[in-house]
Structure 1
Amino acid sequence: MDNSRTPTSRHVLFLNWRDTSNPEGGGSEVYVERIAAELVAAGHQVTLLCAAHERAGAADTTADGVRMLRRGSRHTVYARAALTCLAGRLGLGPLSRRGLGRPDLVVDVCNGVPFFAPLYAGRPVLALVHHVHREQWPVVFGPWMARLGWWIESWLAVRLYRRCRYVTVSQASRAELAELGVAAERIDVVPNGTPPVTGAPLPRSTHPSLLVLGRLVPHKRVEIALRTVAELIGKLPDLELVVAGQGWWEQPLRQLSVELGISDHVRFTGFISEEEKHAVLSAAWVALTPSLKEGWGLTIVEAAARSTPTVAFRYAGGVAEAMVDTETGLLVDDEREFTDQVRELLADDVRRKAMGEAAFAHASRFTWAATGTRFAQLVAQIAHGGAGR
């Protein structure tokens, strides 16, 4: 065992199907890795087990003191997680080889499909759910897979994790979990922090500019942003939309921009670095979050940290908590209103600037240090109490 551990330190094992270097990584992965880093800073030992991928390079790496175990593929990572935990219970496998032994707590990150950790962990399990995927299953999968996925998430998982504590990122997600049958008193809310802005202040673009930041997958509904641009360029001929991010849905989006006749007004950046992200967030006049569902809305707060207001949909889960409607951004009910509000905000320099200033102040309320402290409290409570064994 690692002799550096103190009586109050814990070994926490996160099970997540992706990490931030994965081409399909997103806000969920940012949350997990920032929380993990904060736990390490607080004196805990943290291991993150996730799927291997080409961009990762070596199978086992360390970042911010977090031990990374990349095992299996997008689909087989679930089985590899079970084998790793079972081997750890026997004093074998990668956890034992690193001198860590069995974890004190397993954090099962349930992105629609859970890792089923209560069946094999032999340790307390904390279920981390960013949001309920009710609306997303039929958008991403065919009818049969959508029904199976929703049954696993809404019926099987609720029963399998019935003795476990839950943590989620917004009150909206907490309410949805309660609707599925998870006892409200077992659900803690630990919202995202705001990544620090390390770059120098940058000016806005000289022309009207919009930004969509995130993974390019169907449920992010970037199509709505494209159709908005198509409707606005008649009176705003120099309008530009920056689509920052990557994903398997990029080609259909590119094709739609051609069909709408706006390809000269849309710039697809692909994967961007933190420096490039800072630049596009700072340059945008308005950020757009047309997503069908978000557990929180990390990109909304990231934009706010650069004094950039966001337009999003009121029904899209935690986005309503990541902003203050009409003060730091605008929440809308349908696509028609989305386009109208974007048009009005682009045309009103005074209102847009005031929203940006309020957004900046709002973003400062959310820090990763505070988030990490709250999560560390959960770790201590659950590991000590033994819930989820």
Structure 2
Amino acid sequence: MKEQTKILHSIPADALTGAISTPIYQTSTYVQEAPGINKGYDYSRTNNPTRAALEQLIAELEGGSNGFAFASGLAAIDAVIKLLSAGDEIVAVNDIYGGAFRLFTHIYRKLGITVHYADTTDATNVAAAITPKTKLIWIETPTNPTLKISDIRAIAKTAKAASCLVCVDNTFASPAAQKPIELGADLVVHSATKYLAGHSDVIAGLVVTRTKELGEKIKFIQNASGAILGPFDSWLTIRGIETLPLRVAQHSRNSQAIADFLTTQGFVNNVYYPGLATHPNHAIARQQQKYFGGVVSFDLRIDETAVATQLVQSTRYFKLAESLGGVKSLLCLPCEMTHKSIPAAIRRQSGVSDSLIRLSVGLEDADDLIEDLSTAIKKTARNFAILV
């Protein structure tokens, strides 16, 4: 069964009414036949039929045992870290999402969980960073925002030999392009806000576990901590997932065209996109991804925030905003926005320069988006008297 067919037919019609669209069960509690005897639901923090439909859907798409829906991507990350105990250690990708860095550094470090950062594009770096206290390997691939690629299969083998869990943040690729559990990961997390929901209208997070045993642990954390996704947001996410493969394919086609264009611009220094043959991890990306994704990043020959700021304020179709993965194109300046919480020295060391611009390429016509960027580049170069 092809992916699009699988998605649509993994969402069953409502057993009670035959509704083709998953009903929104907007309820907090459920009538019981007798104390402790119910129809499988007693309180919506513990379980809700609309949320359960989403959780089953994402588990099937990722090829996992169980899925869990949370109030945000960070809430999903938080649930995974709560599998650990004080004294445990994490080896994490060094080019990490700013929110995850903030959570690791300012919340969990003071609770006794230590994070060591490594360049995970080389699995030997992961092996070298593992200590007897390491319990979790944390990967983003592609990374945010420099689009580095890690070999999930190789890292999973390394982790298994050290009795560590592997969690992959699959937000940028989505299960339409990459399935980490098939490559050996134990857990997958998503900011479903991005490509899964896909329309910039919901905040949501998802966790998928390889085994039922891990699933039982995440379920306990979800219920005990209470950061659950509400029924309406669950329904919005289901609705978005119904068109996921179609959208990811078009995002990727547009992104490839834009990345190719940017490589021809003298004003541009580096272009980061795994679909480019010049990308250092292109071969691994081709092996483990069906599509190269909808995010393109680039930095400027003049590595100054002021120059990049001018450019991101000069586009017409690319709107300046946080987040990514929606049908409309967005752009941001990570050093002042998504990655501002990361100390400048650490940020630059991971490749996020002061002029790096991240594009979330939408579903507009690629020619219009390229013209928009071309106009903004020329205007910025002219304002700063830079020859291009």
Shorter-chain TM-score tier = 0.3 to 0.5
Higher helix share: 1
